[in-house]
Amino acid sequence: MSKTTDAVLVMQDGTVVEGAGFGAKNSAEGEVVFNTSICGYQETLTDPSYKAQILMMTYPLVGNYGVNKTDLESGRIQAEGYIIRELTEHPWHGKLTGKLDGFLKEYDIPGIHGIDTRFLTRKIRDHGVMNGILKYPYEKSELSALKEKAAKLKSISEKDLVELVTIKKPKTYDVGGKKTVVVLDCGAKQSIINLITERKINVIQVPARTTAKEIMAYEPAGIMISNGPGDPEKVDYAINTIKKLMDEQMPLFGICLGNQLLGLASGAKTYKLKFGHRGSNHPVKDLKTKRSHITSQNHGFAVDAKTLGKEWEVTHVSLNDGSVEGISHKELPIRAVQYHPEAHAGPWYNYYLFDEFVEMLK
């Protein structure tokens, strides 16, 4: 544990945790969540699904292989702040181009280390995710005001976070393929697009507010509905678009938030999980094959299985809490998974879902 206490995390319930600051000298506000991965900190920090959240890693040693220019899931750090147990000061890796501390400074993101992350993880497991404020540096005279401010922070369910992370204009990835997939970008990880183009499928990435008519004008062979941050019920414009796309009876594949949006578009309901699923080691059961898979996940909401229509079926469930991890239409080529088959970080063997999506395009 660090003896330096120039940074502080103040939770919504009044909990105060002091530690050593790193990264940018700044303050951050957001929902405090934990990730159970033992690696992949660069990928998680740049995942748009972490928008408006302060990210905590449960694995105690972070920063040991530094950062590089290739393992980015978006153009910047998306998490608002970073909480870790121990910061590695002298990292090493063959691809290393910088340190975690400098990476946070580059994007003006504050961090805190030298704290008991096990204590915070247990608190969130017991009481659920809650808002917090991370401030570096801070003065003890500020604590009273920080507590008052933390208690009044708005829930992420009061905000449309997709609007903050979606691209502003369409982007084309032409790999000379014979077919094109449109990705409705609600905060898409770059790995999703990469795994489609690696299969010689062209991609057109479009903003989340793109209409169904505009999407169909690209004459796509299929449509991917991406991951993204926040409460899916706040993204009503995308839900309306998906409803119209479903009427086209063409291949649709949703990932993470895309799974929830497809559920809402079909008339089902979603709910908020107590502390969410975030990590690269979550067990999921495929109800058709009876096989279990270790998956990468990052979500705080789930589809309510009881509200799915008769034309839909649950295809995957979490072996931790039984929540929905995949849905499929019984007649149309429409399916989705709640976990991240593209991983990054995480196990690679779920890539087969991209192969199945390509088969759907035929």
Burial class (CB in 10 A: 0-12, 13-18, 19+), 127: middle
SS3 166: coil
**Which DSSP state fits 137?**
S
Six-digit token string for 19: 């530690």
Q: Hey, which residues does 88 pair with through a beta bridge?
A: none
**Which DSSP state fits 92?**
-
97-to-65, 252, 336 alpha-carbon distances in Å: 10, 38, 36
Options 29, 31, 43, 342, the catalytic residue = 342
Sequence-separated (6 or more) residues with CB below 8 Å from residue 92: 64, 65, 66
Omega into 302 within 30° of 0, i.e. cis? no
| Angle value at C-alpha 56, between 54 and 61, nearest 5 degrees | 145
> Rounded CA gap, 216 and 223, in Å?
10
Six-digit token string for 93: 């890796």
Long-range Cβ pairs for the range 190-195 (8 Å, 24+) = 190/72, 190/73, 190/74, 191/43, 191/73, 191/342, 191/343, 191/344, 192/224, 192/226, 192/227, 192/255, 192/342, 194/342, 195/342, 195/351, 195/354
- Active-site annotation holds for 39: no
Within a 13 Å sphere around the CA of 172, how many CA atoms are in the beta-carbon half? Answer: 9
Options 43, 256, 277, 282, the catalytic residue = 256
> Rounded CA gap, 326 and 256, in Å?
9
Question: Position of tokens 């010689």?
Answer: 200
Options 113, 293, 299, 340, the catalytic residue = 340
Six-digit token string for 76: 């910047």
Which active-site residues does the annotation give?
A: 256, 340, 342
